[in-house]
Amino acid sequence: MTAPVDTSDPKQLGADTDGTQFMTFHDLAYDAGKTVFQRKAQPVGQGREGELLEVAMGPQHPSTHGVFRMDVVLDGETVVKLKPVFGYLHRNHEKIAENTSYLGSMPYTDRLDYFCSLTNNWAYALSVEKLAGLQVPERAEYIRLITAELTRVLNHTCLAGFLLQDMGALGTPLMYAFREREKILDLIESLTGARMMCNYMRFGGCRCDLPAGWLDEAKKVVAEYPKFLDEFDALLSGNEILMARTQGVGKLSAELAISAGITGPMLRASGVDYDLRKVDNYGLYSRYPFRVPLGSHGDVYDRYMIRMLEMRESLKILEPALKDIPEGPVVDPKAKLRGFRPKPGEAYGRIESPKGELGFYLISDGSPNPYRYRVRPPSLINLTILEDMCLGQTVADAIVTLGSVDIVLGEVDR
């Protein structure tokens, strides 16, 4: 379905075949056209066998975002081979979930991508609802939409901070990002009781209603947020050092991205218009017009910009949603907490989490535990392509590229 579009700025708009609005930001004010450096691919390992150096970066390397190891083979400073090694944080999430009740896995989903526990909750709740045929009341749908978009803003804010830290901007951007993130975390805490491990959504709705005054506070935060984004843009987006470090680095072509199953901002940075919020139209996304930012180079800078722009689009969804939210129950009265046994069957529920397509695949055999429980983690699948993006570049570039993938090891390893 086609949403009304602001046509006053033809540069920002385009419509593809299925009528989805998207924009490319290379026409915008912070144009990537002013490339500072042109990079040449480094000649790799010619006649230098035996002089290559293999280095294990991680699992305790500060730049690997957790316990992740990159085995890089270096020719001088150039990466000739890179092997991502994960599994250090494996904690048997799927098997544990097959041995606990459906409800019991909900708090564990928080710990997948611990920055975005609310979207994890939603994806899991969505697949169980598909399995059990539960209906979500409208107010709960609104709460889910609002919390999910807040989570997206939160995630992208942090990512921008962390990415800059990987580039050596120690502290400043990350601290600014955390300062803003705190405002959203406060909102989430007063709603769910926890800052990160929210455990908030339930099958057929949400655990509790919004506390008094929450909507006003949320409106205030959402109204203030663009100010921070402007500040961040002024601080970073036009910064020549940032451009030099990111433009042309970690390039990923659209074909490769599609065939590797990449999703989320990383895929869109390569110029592929694919956003589950538009494709699946789950939740109430069809009610709110928003645009999907698309990159054209598929480099780290595009991935950074995509996130900055997505935040602005999320705020555009949040603003009217916070006004429109109706009164009503927040949970399907048919949903049971204890003794929940969906009828035998299988279901796959997926949402556009801030990192990409997050899906839960469940098979029920009619018992209180799922027979099979499988997570499709966007971080892991986006990470598998790391070598292709890093070959022929320097170690410092490999770190920046890893930072731009946006991984959380809790989700990669499960």
Partner 1 sequence: MLGTGILKGMVETAKNFAGSYHDPERLTTVEYPEQRIASKENARQFPFLVHDTEDPMKGLRCVACQICEKECPPQCIYIVKSKDKRADYKGQMQFYPATFDIDLSVCMSCQICVEVCPFESIKMDTEFELSNTDRFGGLLVNKHQLAKSNEHYRKIHPTEAAASDAVLAAETAKAQAKAKADAEAKAAKAAAAAGPVGAVASAPAPKPSSPAAATAAAPAA
Q: Which residues bind partner 1 (CB under 8 A)?
A: 36, 100-101, 103-108, 172, 176, 179, 182, 186, 189-194, 197, 199, 207-208, 211-212, 231, 234-243, 337-338
Q: How far is the CB of 234 from partner 1 (least distance, A)?
A: 5
Q: How far is the CB of 65 from partner 1 (least distance, A)?
A: 22
Query: In what helix (H) or strand (E) does residue 15 lie, and over which residues does it extend?
Result: strand 14-15
**Distance between CA atoms of residues 188 and 217, nearest Å:** 11
Residue 104 or 320 having the CB closest to partner 1: 104
Q: How far is the CB of 239 from partner 1 (least distance, A)?
A: 4
By C-alpha distance, which of 295, 300, 252 is closest to 397?
A: 300
Q: How far is the CB of 240 from partner 1 (least distance, A)?
A: 5
Residue 278 or 307 having the CB closest to partner 1: 307
**Distance between CA atoms of residues 129 and 109, nearest Å:** 16
Q: How far is the CB of 48 from partner 1 (least distance, A)?
A: 35
SS3 sequence of 173-204 = HHHHHHHHHHHHHHHHHHHHCCCCCCCCEECC
Strand partners, 21: 15
Q: How far is the CB of 225 from partner 1 (least distance, A)?
A: 13
Residue 41 or 170 having the CB closest to partner 1: 170
Residue 29 or 50 having the CB closest to partner 1: 29
Helix boundaries (H) for 235-377: 240-246, 254-259, 265-269, 276-279, 300-324
Question: Letter for the amino acid at 222?
Answer: V
CB-facing half-sphere around the CA of 134: CA atoms within 13 A: 29
Residue 14 or 193 having the CB closest to partner 1: 193
Q: How far is the CB of 96 from partner 1 (least distance, A)?
A: 8
Name the CA radius of gyration of the chain, rounded.
21
Residue 5 or 235 having the CB closest to partner 1: 235
Instruction: Please provide residue 162's backbone torsions phi and psi, each rounded to the nearest 5 degrees.
Output: -65, -40
Q: How far is the CB of 18 from partner 1 (least distance, A)?
A: 37
Query: How does DSSP assign 148-165, residue by residue?
Result: HHHHHHHHHHHHHHHHHH
β-pair type (205-206, 201-202): antiparallel
By C-alpha distance, which of 321, 364, 309 is closest to 21?
A: 309
Residue 6 or 182 having the CB closest to partner 1: 182
**Distance between CA atoms of residues 287 and 294, nearest Å:** 21
Sign for the pseudo-dihedral over CA of 276, 281, 287, 291: positive
Residue 150 or 252 having the CB closest to partner 1: 150
Residue 116 or 188 having the CB closest to partner 1: 188
Q: How far is the CB of 146 from partner 1 (least distance, A)?
A: 16
